[in-house]
Amino acid sequence: MVRFENVGLRYGLGPEILRDLSFEIPAHSFQFLTGPSGAGKTSLLRLLFLSMRPTRGLVNLFDRDVSLLSKDEIADMRKRIGIVLQDFRLLDHMTTYENVALPFRVIGRDESSYRKEVIDLLKWVGLGERMDALPPVLSGGEKQRAAIARAVISRPLLLLADEPTGNVDPTLGRRLLLLFVELNRSGTAVIIATHDIALMDQYDARRLVLHQGRLHIYE
């Protein structure tokens, strides 16, 4: 599903922050991406989400060389990828329900066709009572759950999550991890970037460890 070959990334004329990354993410797989702060986890997720291009090397996603993709093809490919960012990126003028339903709206689905699905998921992540609230009045944890719900609602083939449990208590963190596991069982490849050891210890999965710009894989 994802293949990196000798990928390097630098910002401007600075040093390479990712060096010679070569790895594969198989379909239906589950992995944690970890490493110290500043190791390049978010940059690697951005490469995987096609919001950045590598300075060198080959990135292959869904059997396509991403360097050859047009903007429209990138947009189409992103419909198959869900992403949860640390800063949530919710739209403040839309309710929680509308934010979560956004991926469906963008592909032109009728509201009645996804309404129940969205409400079910909001209940599942504990936002059933907050679905009509606007993001500015949500707590950090609630925003995080809304962002996760938006990323998983369309059942993407690949889910990228950047510190998805960073703002929730351990109980809810376990519940969200269970959501990712459920999603993985239904066929989604999951990559969770975290430096929360306790979270990783709760689920036995492949670990990708970034250290000084290089990637070490522990199966």
Partner 1 sequence: MDLGQDRPQVAAEARNLSPIVPRASIAGRALVAVVAIMTFLASITTGAVLLVSASAAEWQSEVASEITVQVRPLAGRDLDRDSAAVSEAVRTQPGITGVQPYTKEESAKLLEPWLGSGLSLDDLPVPRVIIARVSPGSPLDLVQLRSRVAAITPSASVDDHRAWIERMRSMTGATTFSGLAILALVIAATIISVSFATRGAMAANRPIVEVLHFVGAGDRYIANRFFRHFLRLGLEGGIIGGGAAMLVFGFSESIANWFSGTPVGDQFAALLGTFALRPTGYLILAVQAGLIAAITAWASRRTLLATLDDIE
Residues 137-176 close enough to bind partner 1 by CB under 8 A: 150, 152, 155
Told to check if 64 binds partner 1 by CB under 8 A, we report no
Q: Is the dihedral of CA 31, 35, 37, 38 positive or negative?
A: negative
Q: Of 14, 116, 171, 204, which lies in the binding site for partner 1, with binding defined by CB under 8 A?
A: 116
Told to check if 107 binds partner 1 by CB under 8 A, we report yes
Q: Of 44, 66, 183, 189, which lies in the binding site for partner 1, with binding defined by CB under 8 A?
A: 183
Q: Of 28, 56, 64, 79, which lies in the binding site for partner 1, with binding defined by CB under 8 A?
A: 79
> How far is the C-alpha of 38 from the C-alpha of 203, rounded, in Å?
24
Q: What type of residue is 21? A: L
Q: Between 14 and 93, name the residue whose CB sits nearer to partner 1.
A: 93
Q: Between 149 and 215, name the residue whose CB sits nearer to partner 1.
A: 149
> How far is the C-alpha of 48 from the C-alpha of 60, rounded, in Å?
9
Q: How far is CA 55 from the centre of its chain?
A: 22
> How far is the C-alpha of 215 from the C-alpha of 131, rounded, in Å?
40
> How far is the C-alpha of 62 from the C-alpha of 189, rounded, in Å?
12
* Sole window of 9-17, 56-64, 123-131, 206-214 interacting with partner 1 (rule: CB under 8 A): 123-131
Residues 86-105 close enough to bind partner 1 by CB under 8 A: 89-91, 93-95, 97-98, 101-103, 105
Q: Between 68 and 107, name the residue whose CB sits nearer to partner 1.
A: 107
Please identify which residue in the block is written with the tokens 């369309």: 154
- Minimum CB–partner distance for residue 131 and partner 1 (Å): 9
- Minimum CB–partner distance for residue 186 and partner 1 (Å): 5
* Structure tokens, 187: 């066929």
30, containing H or E segment: strand 30-34
Output DSSP code: residue 66. G
Q: Using N-to-C axis directions, what is the helix angle for 140-152 and 96-106, rounded to 10°? A: 20
Q: Which residues bind partner 1 (CB under 8 A)?
A: 49, 51-52, 71-72, 75-81, 83, 85, 89-91, 93-95, 97-98, 101-103, 105-107, 111-112, 115-116, 119-121, 123-124, 128, 150, 152, 155, 182-183, 185-186
